[in-house]
Amino acid sequence: MPPRTSLWASVTDWTVVCSLAQLHALCDDLENASYLGSSLAGCRDKPEALPDPCASQRANPLTMQFTEAFGTPTPDTVCNNQLVALRGPGAPYTSYKWLVGAVDQRTGRNVVVSFDRLTLGTVPVRLIATRPPNTACFKNDDGVDTLTQTLTLMPERDPRAPIYGKFRGANKDTPRDTFTVRTYEGPDFRYPNNPSVYSNYVAGIPKGCLTPYRYAGFTWRGMTATSGGCTSFDITKGYITTRDSIRIEYRA
């Protein structure tokens, strides 16, 4: 009888040979199955859609903005007796024509118009601007856009203006240390006994100050103030951010 070790060696050799043959056959089967599966998957899956380059485009993207004195933006209402800036968008627009009311015409991206004390009510403001036509997205686009908005003129020092009121807030660096600021109209400090003479005032800046700013200029949504307060610095600018909120820029 051959040595036991030789027998185990023979069995081991046969087992290895057999296993390798099975492995090769299994690999061939897997390759064929993988190819077939890939082909079937390719038939079932829809091709991924490319993003539409025109999806975010608008046929008329023209915009305009109204700005009162002191650089205060306003959506549609201003006080009369002041300069109002009309601002158009930048690129891709290349030329601008403004029609303010029935007869006033201006050119340029940004223009300034003046309204006197007698001008009240609504005034149509039309902007006609040109840009390169976008025929890739809008085949009939001629590159000329028109936008009309209505500007409402209110009387100067109208008590309904949102700039008047009491506002409670804080400085940016101490958000929990709140105090109240008041913007109001009252008898002129130079003529306190003359009820026909009034002035605008800003009180409460900086915190704890009881001396109001006495020379304050108010628009419908904005203000500036000098001479007063408890420091030697002026209020550079204040403006309404929402119907009941104000931002005031000053140095303490």
Computed over its alpha carbons, how large is the radius of gyration of the chain? 38
pTM tops 0.75, yes or no: no
123 has pLDDT over 80: yes
The candidate with the shortest Cα–Cα distance to 250, out of 123, 89, 231, is 231
Lowest-pLDDT choice from 43-47, 169-173, 246-250: 43-47
In degrees, rounded to 5, the angle at the alpha carbon of residue 238 between the alpha carbons of residues 148 and 192 is 115
Beta strands in the chain, from DSSP E residues, in sequence order: 65-68, 72-74, 77-79, 82-87, 95-100, 104-107, 110-115, 121-130, 144-154, 165-169, 179-187, 198-203, 215-218, 222-226, 235-242, 245-250
Alpha carbon separation from 41 to 28, 31, 34 (Å, rounded): 20, 15, 10
Structural domains of the chain, ranges and CATH numbers in brackets: 65-154 (2.60.40.10), 165-250 (no CATH)
Q: What is the pLDDT of residue 49?
A: 79
Q: How confident is the model at residue 69 (pLDDT cuts 50, 70, 90)?
A: confident
CB 200 within 8 A of CB 185: yes
